Amino acid sequence: AQTVTQSQPEMSVQEAETVTLSCTYDTSESDYYLFWYKQPPSRQMILVIRQEAYKQQNATENRFSVNFQKAAKSFSLKISDSQLGDAAMYFCAYRKLSGNTPLVFGKGTRLSVIA
Amino acid sequence: DGGITQSPKYLFRKEGQNVTLSCEQNLNHDAMYWYRQDPGQGLRLIYYSQIVNDFQKGDIAEGYSVSREKKESFPLTVTSAQKNPTAFYLCASSIPTAAGGYTFGSGTRLTVV
């Protein structure tokens, strides 16, 4: 079974600085998708970024980028120029390539942003 | 606008009672999912349905039941057999390609009193 591990339960960053959240996963599949979701205090889940495993280029969405290392099964999220609104729980998730299979989530990292 | 609606937002249950959490979507998504969120546990899969009239158990299905009689609706019943039901419950739906990720509802907070 696939597993997703987020080894940092809590992280903090100064406003305007850069922070990296770690995620590793275990799978025997060669093609799959990886996601980062943000859950602010409202508890609404928001998709931050996605990565297709067959693409070598790291995905980027404005201030959010990933470092995808397929051989190491690592998928870290970098947040640049951190803002107070980035404070949230961040979940890493894995999904098989085929069909409507469920996402497998990590346990999350709580990010605090210090003004 | 299309989306997923979960109701109620807060729910209180007495011990020994069954309660049903509602999840409705107007996105025309085939697949729907229920997750439970506890502090420090992330999101754990309870049940999912890839098509009407069919559903599969997730990792923590004991004490829960679901139905999928309509494409738009995927209600979750928390039965009295669930020993520790107090948690935050999230419903989600997805399109038939893995790249789409999920669209989430806003969640239901269930508390046993």
Please state, rounded to an integer, the average pLDDT across all residues of chain B. Answer: 93
Q: Which of B102, B103, B106 to mutate to probe the A interface, most A CBs <10 Å?
A: B102
What is the percent of chain A where pLDDT is above 70? 99
Each residue's pLDDT tens digit, A86-108: 999 999 999 988 767 899 999 99
Q: Is A89 on the interface with B (CB under 8 A)?
A: no
Instruction: Give CA–CA dist B41/A107, Å, rounded.
Output: 5
Of A45, A104, A108, the CB nearest to B90: A45
Q: What mean pLDDT is predicted for residues B30-58?
A: 94
Q: What percent of chain A has pLDDT over 90?
A: 88
Whether A99 and B96 lie within 8 Å, measured CB to CB: yes
Task: Output the pLDDT for position A99.
Answer: 67
Site from B43, B56, B66 to mutate, A interface, most A CB atoms within 10 angstroms? B43
Q: Is B63 exposed, middle or buried (0-12, 13-18, 19+ CB in 10 A)?
A: middle
CA distance B77 to B84: 14
Q: Which residue has the tokens 């275990």?
A: A26
B41/A43 touch (CB, cutoff 8 Å), yes or no: no
Nearest by Cα to A90 from A78, A100, A81? A78
Picking from A115, A114, A104, A110, the residue whose alpha carbon sits closest to that of residue A43 is A110
What integer pLDDT is reported at residue B98 of this predicted model?
A: 62
If one compares B1 and B66, the residue with the highest pLDDT of the two is B66
- Long-range (24+ apart) CB contacts under 8 A made by A53-57 are A53/A29, A53/A97
